[in-house]
Amino acid sequence: MELFLLSNSRTHGRAYLEHATEEIEDFLGGRRLVFVPFALRDHDGYTATVGAAMRPLGIEVTGAHTAADPRDLVRDAEVVFVGGGNSFRLLSTLQRTGLREVIRERVEAGELRYMGSSAGTNMACPTLRTTNDMPIVQPESFEALGLVPFQINPHFLDADPGSTHMGETREQRVTEFLEENDVPVLGMREGAWLRVSGRKAALGGTTGARLFARDSEPRELAPDADLSFLLETRPKFDA
């Protein structure tokens, strides 16, 4: 499998995907791209944004929503990019259209490269249970694509010791998840990404990540860390 999973698509002060342009160009390698815009409501506008970002790289972008059956486009694609937005809306649409099965099958067979950002990165996990989003719709289940056997929390925020906010920190929310589910959670800060190639996985970007596991202290991960060991995870989820 070939996966490129971004924590975020927008970084403060930079254009859409600009913070990862070189890595994206290397991952795409000039291949045609089908964009899955279903995490946002404005499919045409979202696809146009991605098209503008890919144009300088010479990448042709087609929106999955432009076909009567989006599966037809994905079956012929070389790369699929699943964009961010609301994870519940995205997963619900992937399930309803049958895209979840088609994407999973072709990526696992090595026929299709998968690129995701934010909610699209959540989709690469076994479930969406570590998303940050509000459940604005109800999917058939929480089962996502399962391209990696561990969970990711995109946009991970470190606790601010000077904050007066009384709500849970992101680390507390992840800890609650681990009380009910025995599977590692990779908290990727904005500006970080994960590159998977076969049985190799490496952390990229400039901001690093935090790795959480049941009954263990959180582990700080520097950029370029080798995370291949996470691909051997055997997740155990609460029913």
Q: Which residues are part of the catalytic machinery? A: 118, 133, 155
Helix orientation angle between 99-108 and 87-97, rounded to the nearest 10 degrees: 90
**C-alpha span between 82 and 68 (Å, rounded):** 18
* Residue in the structure block whose two tokens are 């991970």: 156
**C-alpha span between 109 and 92 (Å, rounded):** 24
